[in-house]
């Protein structure tokens, strides 16, 4: 675990739905998210305390993010004309989970970019931040990546006096993570 008190972890966690492919596809077609989520491997393991103890995930109210034909809005394996194709049941492989006090997820959704067999997920959080240093090097040390060191002026740290209250500051990070890849 990192020395940071708040962590947001996102990516292709590769968890699947523990139902048959046929049942999963039928439930997806009927948009029965609750039934699918009751059988979602990550949800089950989080609730049973088997993985990511103390971590949280927001409510999922969107279609599974995997597995699509690239550049199409069709789940892989649904095209009956493609004989011999390995079928993959839809699943929420792409997730955002978080750990720590002072984090609140305001929104959680998926994007509709069709560049891959996954649909991206996104979230908006508010975070309580105590004693934010005006020194950006100190602030950057909270990140696990060294991308910030390789990209001078990658972000700017702003403090807003209108949001300052007892032991709290507000800040925003200006810049796009997409530029660092």
**Residues 65-124: tens digit of each pLDDT:** 999 888 888 888 765 666 666 678 999 999 999 999 989 999 999 999 998 999 999 999
DSSP state of 17: B
Based on the number of CB atoms within 10 Å of its own CB, is 129 exposed (0-12), middle (13-18) or buried (19 or more)? middle
* Domains contained in the chain, number: 2
Q: Is the pLDDT of residue 56 over 50?
A: yes
In a domain, 1, yes or no: no
**Reported confidence tier of residue 160, pLDDT bands at 50, 70, 90:** very low
Query: Residues 147-174: what's their mean pLDDT?
Result: 43
Average pLDDT over residues 153-180: 40
Q: Residue 15 pLDDT > 60, yes or no?
A: yes
Q: Find the domain containing 108 and state its range.
A: 7-127
Taking the C-alpha atoms of residue 47 and residue 58, their distance in angstroms, rounded to an integer, is: 13
* Residue 2: inside a domain: no
Does one domain contain both 64 and 117?
A: yes
Measured distance CA(80)–CA(69) in Å, rounded: 13
User: Cis peptide before 162, with omega less than 30 degrees from 0?
Assistant: no
Does 84 share its domain with 101? yes
pLDDT reported for residue 79 = 58
Residues 122, 140 share a domain: no
Please, are residues 101 and 6 in contact by the beta-carbon 8 Å criterion?
yes
Mean pLDDT, rounded, for 56-68: 95
Q: How confident is the model at residue 44 (pLDDT cuts 50, 70, 90)?
A: very high
Q: Is residue 24 part of a domain?
A: yes
Same domain, 93 and 160: no
Rounded to two decimals, the pTM is 0.69
Mean pLDDT, the chain, as a whole number?
78
* 74 and 145 both lie in a single domain: no
């Amino acid at each position: 675990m990192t020395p940071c008190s708040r962590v947001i972890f996102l990516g292709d966690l590769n968890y699947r739905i523990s139902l048959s492919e046929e049942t999963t596809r039928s439930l997806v077609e009927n948009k029965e998210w609750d039934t699918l989520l009751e059988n979602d491997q990550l949800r089950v393991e989080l609730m049973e305390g088997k993985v990511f103890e103390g971590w949280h995930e927001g409510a999922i109210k969107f279609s599974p993010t995997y597995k699509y034909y690239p550049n199409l809005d069709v789940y892989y394996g649904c095209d009956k004309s493609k004989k011999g194709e390995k079928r993959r049941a839809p699943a929420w492989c792409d997730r955002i989970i978080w750990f720590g006090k002072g984090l609140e997820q305001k929104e959680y959704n998926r994007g509709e970019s069709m560049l891959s067999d996954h649909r991206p997920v996104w979230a908006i959080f508010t975070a309580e931040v105590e004693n934010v240093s005006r020194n950006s090097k100190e602030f950057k040390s909270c990140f696990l990546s060294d991308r910030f060191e390789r990209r001078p002026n990658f972000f700017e740290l702003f403090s807003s006096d209108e949001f300052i209250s007892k032991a709290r500051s507000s800040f925003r990070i200006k810049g796009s993570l997409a530029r660092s890849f």
